[in-house]
Amino acid sequence: MNITENISLRLFNTFGIDVSAHYFSSFSTQEELAELLTMTPAAPFILGGGSNILFTRDIDGLVLKNEIPGIDLIHEDDEYLYVRSGAGENWHAFVLYCLQRGWSGVENLSLIPGNVGAAPMQNIGAYGVEIKDVFHELEAYDMNEQKVYTFTLNDCEFGYRESVFKRKYRDRFVILNVTFRLRKQPMFHTSYGAIREELDKMRVRTLSINAISQAVINIRSSKLPDPKQIGNAGSFFKNPTISNERFLSLQAIFPTIVGYPAGGSVKLAAGWLIEQCGWKGFRRGDAGCHARQALVLVNYGNATGREIYELSEDILVSVEKKFGVLLEREVNIL
């Protein structure tokens, strides 16, 4: 447990933003975390894989990288397997671990970057499945009370890219481990996006969790920029939700507007709104809006977090001006 001083965080965030942390350390157990917390008066910044953060400044205090390992089957009944993963496990490696054992539930979430511990933070989701659908409970360390609490599904108050950890309890809890409730008999989700099309292309005759995972991997690899090649944090904005009435009045002006029913409201495709404002493929210095995915902001090399943030602000203002819809950032800004 070494504390390093004045370290660049460039390799610790998928945007590749070059800011520095005054103090930096990692921890692999709850005890190490507790000890590190005695060394800092202010709440540290907890880092996972750095794939949902935009650093806009140097970090004066302590950055703690969660590296708690371990995946264990802790209980099973006729239908379900209860699998606990340390927060520091890589998310996709966890998905592969489950696939290899025939445990079903997380296959649609293949290839999402980041670590297991951050997955409940924003209730990660893709291709019709969210963490909340496979979540059982998690343990988190309360930095105020120096105690471990268990959070059930209800306690987490999961919503679309939301949880209590992102809002109400921000900077208070460190997620130590997450327990998932996975199925022995698979329940396939293939109706979302281009999964069926991709399965046809792959000539899959018998559906399986491995085939779905591979289809998702193929689609994601063809659609999303790889952060190893070009800095990004996936979707920068959330898809905004508006009322049906409001959607109909927008549709009267913009007949091709893209929206999906969402429990009595309509979820708009933020990428479409951004594209209509002319941002797709836009580049200012090294900050840009991806040429194939308008929802993804990118760092072509040496953009600062501030430059990416300013671009996001300009996008937000123009979308509001044209459509009267206020976009919300999905990425955590620091």
Ligand X SMILES: Cc1cc2nc3c(=O)[nH]c(=O)nc-3n(C[C@H](O)[C@H](O)[C@H](O)COP(=O)(O)OP(=O)(O)OC[C@H]3O[C@@H](n4cnc5c(N)ncnc54)[C@H](O)[C@@H]3O)c2cc1C
Quote the least distance from Cβ 172 to ligand X, whole Å.
9
Residue 303 has φ and ψ, to the nearest 5°, of -65, 150
Matching residue, tokens 């370290």: 7
Distance between CA atoms of residues 280 and 282, nearest Å: 5
Beta carbon nearer to ligand X, 49 or 288 = 49
Instruction: Report CA dihedral (13, 155, 135, 228) to the nearest 10 degrees.
Output: -10
Matching residue, tokens 């090649």: 229
Beta carbon nearer to ligand X, 165 or 323 = 165
Quote the least distance from Cβ 313 to ligand X, whole Å.
20
Q: Which of 161, 163, 198, 307 is catalytic?
A: 161
Beta carbon nearer to ligand X, 98 or 118 = 118
Our answer to whether residue 161 is catalytic in this structure is: yes
Quote the least distance from Cβ 206 to ligand X, whole Å.
26
Quote the least distance from Cβ 178 to ligand X, whole Å.
9
Beta carbon nearer to ligand X, 65 or 250 = 65
**Secondary structure (DSSP) of 188-253:** ----STTHHHHHHHTT--S--HHHHHHHHHHHHHHHSPPTTTSEEEEESBPPPEEEHHHHHHHHHH
Q: Strand 53-54 vs strand 332-333: parallel, antiparallel, or unpaired? A: parallel
Quote the least distance from Cβ 164 to ligand X, whole Å.
11
Distance between CA atoms of residues 237 and 253, nearest Å: 23
Distance between CA atoms of residues 298 and 286, nearest Å: 8
Beta carbon nearer to ligand X, 80 or 213 = 213
Distance between CA atoms of residues 107 and 128, nearest Å: 11
Q: Which of 51, 235, 307, 312 is catalytic?
A: 235
- Which residues of this chain interact with ligand X, rule CB under 6 A? 14, 45-53, 66, 87, 112-115, 117-119, 121-122, 124-126, 165, 174-175, 224, 227, 232-234, 332
| Nearest of 184, 159, 302 to residue 241 by alpha carbon | 159
Q: How many CB atoms lie within 10 A of CB 148?
A: 15
Quote the least distance from Cβ 251 to ligand X, whole Å.
27
Beta carbon nearer to ligand X, 174 or 257 = 174
Distance between CA atoms of residues 257 and 206, nearest Å: 36
| Nearest of 120, 112, 171, 123 to residue 150 by alpha carbon | 120
List active site positions.
161, 235, 330
